[in-house]
Structure 1
Amino acid sequence: MTGRAQDGLLFLTRLLLAAALLPTGVARALNVSGFAITLAATGLPSPNAVATAAVIVQVFGPVALILGVLPSLSGLALAVFVGVMAVLLHPFWQFVGPSAVAERTLLLADFGLAGGFLMYAMTGPGRWSWQGWRQGARAAASPARSAAKPTAGARGGSKPKRAPGGRAPARAAA
């Protein structure tokens, strides 16, 4: 796969992963107290603090994902968030029949999403991202700096040292 195709595919993957969380995160941000009530029903201690932290991760995590900012940290944080929320919100073992099947399916889908975030954390965002732009800017600045520094021969300064007797030093054979 060519570099451009791979970068385009990584960008598309980041958009799709972010699309799985961002709309729900925005909806929860508009009703944090309702989400806290949902978490309180699971028996979670201090549901207001957990709901606020979850909304922050669920809104800013996908934005960092789309931009490609701190891929290891954001990918790992989103994977942990999705895994924990899946277990808290989809306890299929408490249900019977079709409800249990539906909850188990949602739990496994969330675990698959967590796997996607872990893959993102491992592979990185590609060149079409904030990180790729920064690396490209550093690489472009690097040759400019080295071109500005003249070499010893270009300065007209020192010549290679010669061994006694006027011969050039012999190089060690590898």
Structure 2
Amino acid sequence: MFNSLQNPLALASRLLLAALFLPAGIGKLTGFAGTVGYISSVGLPMPTVAAAIAAAVEVLGSLALIFGVGTRFAALALAFFTLVASFFFHAYWALPADKQMMQQLMFFKNVGVVGGLLALAAFGAGGWSVDARRSAN
């Protein structure tokens, strides 16, 4: 039964993961100054460059997932980006105990997202993708 669902589930996985990153990337572009300010607030160097890279990774990575083109690379790039960003922006361990809960939830949500992206990197985009079309030719 699951073999017959492999392609629709892979497509659903790609679309649902993209649904997390595409709006975030567009938000970074439309609110670029705010994104730069937020990155500055955690003390990262070159916040303007970091904001541009973050927006590009999220938007381009999402589009790659949606269409299933370069899926494995896009999933790895998004996984790396998400894991690194989680340590800087959801560092619950550095907060007072009464302020840890939300950031801890966000951190571990991101860890779960990284797991899904790594599975996508491992198993590929599925048959309903540009990647599958390219390999069939």
Q: In which range does the TM-score fall when normalised by the shorter chain? A: over 0.9
Supply the distance in 2 between the matched residues of 1:99 and 1:35 (Cα, whole angstroms).
22
Letter in structure 2 aligned against 1:41: S
Letter in structure 2 aligned against 1:87: F
Deviation of the 1:3 alpha carbon: 4.4
The equivalences for 1:55-94 within 5 A come to 55-94=55-94
Letter in structure 2 aligned against 1:103: Q
Residue segments in structure 2 that go unaligned for 5+ positions in a row: none
Aligned to 2:110: 110
Aligned to 1:23: 23
Supply the distance in 2 between the matched residues of 1:101 and 1:56 (Cα, whole angstroms).
30
Letter in structure 1 aligned against 2:121: A
Residues 88-97 or 116-125, more deviating: 88-97
Aligned to 2:34: 34
Deviation of the 1:135 alpha carbon: 2.5
Percent of paired sites with the same residue: 33
Aligned to 2:101: 101
Aligned to 1:133: 133
For these two proteins, the number of residue pairs brought into alignment is 137
More helix by share: 2
Larger Cα Rg: Structure 1 or Structure 2?
Answer: 1
* Distance change in 2, residues 1:2/1:117 (3 Å): closer
